[in-house]
Amino acid sequence: MKRFNLPIKWKLTLWYGGILALILVTFSSGVYIYFKNSLQKSIDTKIKSIAEVLASSMTETHNQSLFGNFERYLENALGKKPKGKFIQIIDASGKIGARLNDLEAEAVPVSFVTLEKALKGEIVYETIETARPRLRMITMPIVEHKKIISIVQVGSSLEEFEDTMKRLLIIMIISIITSISVTIVVGYFMAKKTMKPVDQIRRAAVNISSNNLDERIDIKGRKDELGRLAETFNAMISRLKDSFLRINQFSIDVSHELKTPLTILKGETELALRKERTNEEYKRSMQSNLEEIDRMSRIIDDLLLLSKAETKDIGMNLEKVDLRDLLADVCMNMKLFGENKGVEIVVKELEDIRLVGDELKLRRMITNVVENAIKYGHRGGHVIVSSYKQNGFACVNVEDDGPGISPGDIKYIFDRFYRADRSRKRESGSGLGLSISKWIAEAHKGSIDVQSRPAAGSVFTIKLPMS
């Protein structure tokens, strides 16, 4: 069965209309019930007052002959002639002594149950449903010397009461329907206006592709939730644009990195095949080819490592590592590479620090950072390596006195194949060393940062948790 989904603006409108309808119906029902009970209570009070006056008058006069002109008697007792009332006096034997019927109804039935209760001294209220119009009746015993001498019944027509309640009900129904209708109409247009930025976001999302990532949503300075949503969407587009540019640049860099050794391989091979060569010449050609193959192998291995790292498909062989011994060993191994570049490695202030980590990966991270400092250092310069503790972290500083990094390049320095100094010739590395180092630091719940200024050298700081 296909599910029917309403637009959000209609859902909001219907929700508002439904909630308002519930509130109005609940409130109106309360008002209606309260008003109905109040009117009924007022009717009961009036007929009881009349019955009490008659009962008091009869016990005082002791004159049953007054019933000969009952209307005049009632007018004297009540001060005015009662209108719209039914009044009758019944003696203790149940015989009707006097009656006044100022209603359209010709006969009003008398309940024997009611009379029995009155003869027992009870005051009985009842609604006579069979009479037309309906009556509200009180039956009150007249007591003299603790003896019931007669019963007075006073009834009042409910026709006016029913008309009043009917008009009130009609007014409430019309008011509720009108209020809900106005709310739905106004709410729809307000919801439509409010949801307009969402529709702009939808259209922008439909139109945006990798070819037009410069498009943005114009929210005209809105600062509400939808404005923040549009700002978030614009920020997401900016990140997507940056990611696409970096992916494109990465593809270009990979092609360039692999094309160069392939070109060298092809050239060396073609040159060797042009004519007969001596064994020594073939050997030199093969050695050159092997160097380029090794370069491509390192690039592919590093890319494979980073790809596995992104999919979290690399396990960590955690063990206790003596950081001071590890740094000393790495610096010793890189000493010859530094001498070939004319850069001296200086080891100073290595604190006795032990931490838990993957020793092989930590060794590779530190080697990559030191190697990078040597490659970009000045001939005759120095690379200073030190370590210390700070706020529960083991910190390693690798400082060089090379050309430094411009502020615009620092945020990209750990990207794959990125080179801040683009004028330099290709070094022997794969161009992925710092990217791998960053991943290794983060895999150990640490970080790697760089501080640098042009012509003032660079300081790489590695932070690893000691716990």
Residues 287 and 357 placed together within one structural domain of the fold: no
Domain hosting 385: range is 319-465
Residues 246 and 348 placed together within one structural domain of the fold: no
Angstrom distance (rounded) from CA 391 to CA 382: 28
Examine residue 366 and state whether it is found in any structural domain, yes or no.
Answer: yes
pLDDT value at 368 more than 80: yes
- Residue 104, CB-side half-sphere exposure with 13 Å CA sphere: 6
Residues 154 and 17 placed together within one structural domain of the fold: yes
Residues 435 and 359 placed together within one structural domain of the fold: yes
Residues 300 and 337 placed together within one structural domain of the fold: no
Residues 346 and 449 placed together within one structural domain of the fold: yes
- Of 163, 181, 209, which marks where a domain is finished? 163
pLDDT value at 1 more than 50: no
- Of 310, 336, 369, which marks where a domain is finished? 310
Query: For the chain, how far is it from start to end, CA to CA, in angstroms?
Result: 57
Question: How many CB atoms neighbour CB 106 within 10 A?
Answer: 8
CA-CA distances (angstroms) from residue 268 to 295, 297, 390?
A: 15, 18, 53
Residues 403 and 380 placed together within one structural domain of the fold: yes
pLDDT tens, residue by residue, 102-147: 666 555 667 778 888 888 888 888 888 777 778 888 888 888 777 8
Count of structural domains within the chain = 3
Q: What is the CATH number of the domain that holds 41?
A: 3.30.450.20
Residues 349 and 455 placed together within one structural domain of the fold: yes
pLDDT, position 447: 92
- Of 260, 277, 310, which marks where a domain is finished? 310
Angstrom distance (rounded) from CA 362 to CA 366: 6
Q: What is the CATH number of the domain that holds 234?
A: 1.10.287.130
Examine residue 149 and state whether it is found in any structural domain, yes or no.
Answer: yes
Q: What is the CATH number of the domain that holds 350?
A: 3.30.565.10
Residues 357 and 423 placed together within one structural domain of the fold: yes
pLDDT tens, residue by residue, 156-212: 888 888 899 999 999 999 998 998 889 888 888 888 877 777 777 777 777 777 677
CB 461 within 8 Å of CB 451:
yes
Examine residue 29 and state whether it is found in any structural domain, yes or no.
Answer: yes
pLDDT tens, residue by residue, 292-311: 787 777 777 766 666 666 65
CA-CA distances (angstroms) from residue 100 to 104, 109, 124?
A: 12, 14, 19
Examine residue 171 and state whether it is found in any structural domain, yes or no.
Answer: no
Residues 270 and 251 placed together within one structural domain of the fold: yes
